[in-house]
Amino acid sequence: MPEVIDLIRRYDHGEDLELGTATADYVLVADFDTVEDYWAYSGHPYHVDFLQNHAQHIIASVERVQYRVAP
């Protein structure tokens, strides 16, 4: 997705390493410069299409968190 949506500054994802009590099977972390960039990404047609036509069919549940990273 970072190749299409240039607002994404960092994009990491991977399977749970099962080092402790697992709460999820997979994680995706996307970093943005501003809150406005996040909202633009969230509504971007490519992102929305991906969620509706690909991810929605394989994801049982989603947990979201947004937080500010200290400079």
Question: Domains of the chain: which residue ranges?
Answer: 8-57
* Each residue's pLDDT tens digit, 42-70: 999 999 999 999 998 888 888 889 888 88
What distance in Å separates the CA atoms of residue 53 and residue 14, rounded to the nearest whole number? 21
- Cα 46–49–51 angle (5° rounding)? 110
pLDDT above 70: residue 4: yes
Classify domain 8-57 at the CATH topology level: Alpha-Beta Plaits (3.30.70)
Grouping H, G, I as helix, E, B as strand and the rest as coil, residue 35 is helix
Which residue shows structure tokens 């749970």?
Answer: 16
Total-model pTM? 0.81
